[in-house]
Structure 1
Amino acid sequence: MAGSLASWQRLAQAVLAPGDGLLRHLGPLGEPDELGIRLPAGLNARLIARSGEPVGAKLGYRWHLYPDGGATFPAPRGGWIYVSNSEVPAAGGVGAIRFDARGEVIRAYSLLEGTSLNCAGGATPWGTWLSCEEWSGGAVWECDPRRRRLPRRRPALGIFKHEAVAVDPDQGYLYLTEDEPDGRLYRFTPKAYPDLGDGLLEVAEVQGDPLVAPAAVMWHPLPDPMPVLGGLGRKTPTRLQVPQSTAFRGGEGIGWHAGRIYFTTKGDDTVWCYQPGAAGSGVLSVLYRRDPARPADILSGVDNLTVAASGEVLVAEDGGDMQVVVLDEAGRLTPLLQVVGQDRSEIAGIAFSPDGRRLYFSSQRGPTGKGPFGLTYEISVA
């Protein structure tokens, strides 16, 4: 596994752009195009896949229902793979689309089937996709985008209502969000990084008010990371096992960049930043919290996120104005795109191609909001 990790890191570094070309085109959004997407001048949108229909010409795989969290992975012989979760009860899973070096779709296939409510997740530095089940008995599944290995359930990462996961390759931790009104922030330390078969799962306690000043974070081991049926039986759910742990109002997307962990909570429209410390603790601060009284606070319904190579945090809206909004280090908010006519849907699965020149995302429920009409798009430079 160590050799695989090193080779994937070299491959990713070889194609990673120093800045994301799409963000150089930030500006006023134009009128909706034929797909109903508003973009700044210089960017184009393309429909890649539609739920229930074959992806590409004669490829066979029908795109899954309710596409949610996603990520891209560089392919060894050029091109890349976009993976996408299916947030369907009892019949969810993960699908994948393979692109060649020119960005043309050449393959589509399933990575995982028969799981439940696969919501978001996260990519690993060793080239796998961690797909998170969003129900009280949910687990994390590790999938190989190239299908060289079968998917593996990773119960050591906890049994709870998973939302998303991010890997800190510097310190070897994994951070996980929980989509509950009183969800927690978790940290997993593999026993033998990067093997996720065993390790220590901890829960965060925030000491202080991050809205006032950056607050210290302490981590507490969970007595029982794998409660039977996620607490539906006699065992206590993970979020209630450590009384001093801190509740977060609906954990959503999470990502790592340049030594920091960024994540969102939908119940209070907040974007957080966690700075790990050298001794295992860290500091939590607030990058953004929406105030409805401030007209400049255009970001609402915070959900999935990704971080550009140049450091900007891109946040997708669940409802809101159906936008992807760019949040920079100065706290400025700029819409990158808006989907029009799909107000009962949500934007999910935002992910840059490995070279940073394209962005993928889905409208989970499409124009009607009733499904199954999920649509997956690509944004690129015109």
Structure 2
Amino acid sequence: MDRRRFISTVAAGIAAPFAGVACAGVQGGAKPVRGGYGPLRPVRDLRDGEVRLHLPDGFAYRSFSAAGDEFSDGSRVPGRHDGMAAFTGQDGSAVLVRNHEVNGPVGAFGDRADAYDPMAGGGTSTLRVTRHGEVLRSAPSLNGTMMNCSGGPMAWGAWVSCEETVNGPDVGDDSSGGDNTRLTMKHGYLFEVPVDGTATRRPIRSAGRFPHESAAFDPATGAIYLTEDNFGFPSGFYRYLPPKHPVQAGRLLDGGRLQMLAVKGAKRKDLSAGQRPGTTYATRWVDIDDPDPAFTGRPANDEAVQAVGRQGRAEGAAIFSRLEGAVHHQGTVYFVSTQGGDTSPDDPPPSGFGDGRGQVWAYETGGGRLRLVYESPRSSVLDLPDNVTVSARGTLVLCEDGDDGNYLRGLTGSGRIFDFCRLEPIPGDPGAEFAGSTFGPGGHTLYVNIQAKHGTSIAIWGPWERGLF
């Protein structure tokens, strides 16, 4: 297949699961609704018979490409499976591009001679799988990067992977205790991974060096909307304006302009605090003059990680708490504030910046209106949402990163929230969570990752027509 036809097919594959989506109808004032598909029950994995998920009746799943498994070339699959997107493959298969959020100078997976930084253990893998989770081919597609958390699918046939760190030999060690002097390159950038090959490993420096989380592409303008997950400090909502529309260029070009969202008439508006769903704000954008700052004297990591965001806030940019998942649909970017909202009387405040259990925001790319879609009242309803995608019926699929018993939850177009899947607790690994949810071609399969000490990817299928996805 020639590249032009391939890109056209891939673009159609991205759009297919979202056909007919009416997610713009998601409204505030959501009321908890139990059982979008009925009660959850333990279901055995078709790969090995182990119980990993609790699902409604009629649903099945298979895990695949776990940490430590072999790629098709014989190298080993790294752990920390995170953000992911599905594209249309040949003969009804799906092509998955998957992040690995590995931190520290642990050495690159795959061929170190090709790595961006031979000492960094993160990156992406690309897999071609059936709709029932059988791996047809798999390989490393970006290596030598670090803390590749999430990113986003791009309409020209690529995945943009985001580094959630500013580690490098020019800054002090982060809280994990890794020795940054062992790194050979600066980190904290976007990297493009073509679906039909491997990455060039050239960072998009003009899109900023900060703890990136997700990237959502707006086809109308060519802008890339970016979230920031600055765990212990305020976070911002950004957009990168490339020098040429990426669809016309066939790739994401460096040399553009980075901006940060501000609320009109309210400098440094704190949107991390609790407020009523449905609240709207008029917005503006402020320029970041130095998106890729040069550090001298190895500043502390806590200082370096705020260098870009402080520039925006000095110009009045809004304050959020831990912005993570983001998805674009029909001119609106939906994004998640993991710890946004008021402190719940039923829950202790989580660690890090922000005392709430999660918010979902919507930004209209045309008119610039920002709206609070939903705010969690307590962890039993929604607990620290992270990655997000959209179903064919306009329902947001939220991956939880909570304290215990994480769920995949749905937030419908009418503002109802429901449980779809619960993660079976993993002994000795209380931090296990869902990540990287993405619907495959035609919406038959929901692919999702379990990020854990021994993570894996999972394919879920069943009677979607019976419920709200």
Shorter-normalised TM-score: what interval?
0.7 to 0.9
Aligned to 1:368: none
Aligned partners of 2:9 and 2:212: how far apart in 1?
26
Identify if the C-alpha distance between structure 1 residues 287 and 222 changes in structure 2 by more than 3 Å, giving closer, same or farther: same
Which residue, 368, 372, 388 being the options, matches 1:286?
372
Show the counterpart of 1:45.
Answer: 61
| Aligned counterpart, 2:126 | 96
Partner of 1:188: 240
Shift of 1:305: 0.7
State the TM-score, normalizing by the size of structure 2: 0.71
Q: 1:149 to 1:76 in 2, by over 3 A?
A: farther
Structure 2 counterpart of 1:166, one-letter code: A
Aligned to 2:422: 338
Q: CA deviation at 1:101?
A: 7.2
Which has the higher Rg, Structure 1 or Structure 2? 2
Deviation per CA, 1:130-178, whole angstroms, max 9, x where unpaired?
Answer: 1111112400110112216634321121111111111011222110011
Equivalent residue for 2:220, pick from 167, 170, 173: 170
Q: Name the structure 2 match of 1:153.
A: 203
Question: Given residue 383 of structure 2, which amino acid in structure 1 is its aligned partner?
Answer: S
* Equivalent AA in structure 2 for residue 172 of structure 1: G
- Structure-2 change in CA distance of 1:13 and 1:359 (3 Å): closer
Aligned residue number for residue 461 of structure 2:
380
1:168–1:98 distance in 2 versus 1, CA, 3 Å: same
SS in 2 for 1:31: strand
Say which SS state the counterpart of residue 442 (structure 2) adopts: coil
Letter in 1 for 2:325: G
Of 262, 268, 271, the match for 2:334: 262
Counterpart of 1:204 in structure 2 is 261
Matching residue's letter, 2:284: M
CA distance in 1 between counterparts of 2:19 and 2:143 reads 36
Paired with 1:17 and 1:43, the residues of 2 have a C-alpha distance of 21
**2:366 is equivalent to residue 277 of structure 1:** yes
Q: Flag structure 2 segments of 5+ consecutive residues without an equivalent.
A: 22-34, 45-49, 104-119, 167-186, 247-251, 341-357, 464-469
**Counterparts of residues 214-293 of structure 1 (less than 5 Å):** 214-228=280-294, 233=299, 237-242=307-312, 243=314, 244-268=316-340, 269-278=358-367, 282-292=368-378
Q: CA deviation at 1:191?
A: 1.2
- Structure 1 residues 232 and 308, CA, compared in 2 at 3 Å: closer, same or farther? farther
Could you say if the C-alpha distance between residues 326 and 83 of structure 1 is closer, same or farther in structure 2, counting changes exceeding 3 Å?
A: same
CA RMSD of superposed structures (Å): 2.9
Q: In the alignment, does 2:219 pair up with 1:135?
A: no
Find the aligned partners of 1:15 and 1:65 in 2 and give their Cα distance.
Answer: 29
Cα distance, 1:17–1:103 mapped onto 2, change above 3 Å: farther
Shift of 1:334: 1.0
Deviations 1:241-276 (A, max 9, x none): 131111111111111012110111112211111112
1:80 Cα offset (Å) = 1.8
Aligned length, in residue pairs:
365
Report the CA distance between 1:48 and its aligned residue.
1.2
| Counterpart for residue 13 of structure 2 | 12
Pick the aligned partner of 1:26 from 21, 24, 37: 37
Higher normalized contact order (CA 8 Å, seq sep 6+, divided by chain length) = 2
Query: How far did residue 66 of structure 1 move?
Result: 0.8
Aligned partner letter, 1:274: Y
Residue aligned with 1:198, SS:
coil
Inter-partner Cα distance in structure 1 for 2:234 and 2:203 = 25
Give the match for residue 68 of structure 1: 82
Give the conservation status (yes or no) of the 8 Å contact 1:70–1:82.
yes
Deviates more, 1:157-166 or 1:229-238: 229-238
Compute the displacement of 1:310 (Å): 2.4
Cα distance in 2 for residues equivalent to 1:217 and 1:231:
37
Query: How far is 1:206 from its partner?
Result: 2.1
Query: Per residue, is there more strand in 1 or in 2?
Result: 1
Q: How far apart are the structure 2 equivalents of 1:5 and 1:81?
A: 12
Counterparts of 1:101 and 1:38, CA distance in 2: 20
Equivalent residue number for residue 52 of structure 2: 36
SS at match of 1:153: coil
Separation in 2 of the partners of 1:8 and 1:332? 34
Q: Which amino acid aligns with 1:27?
A: G
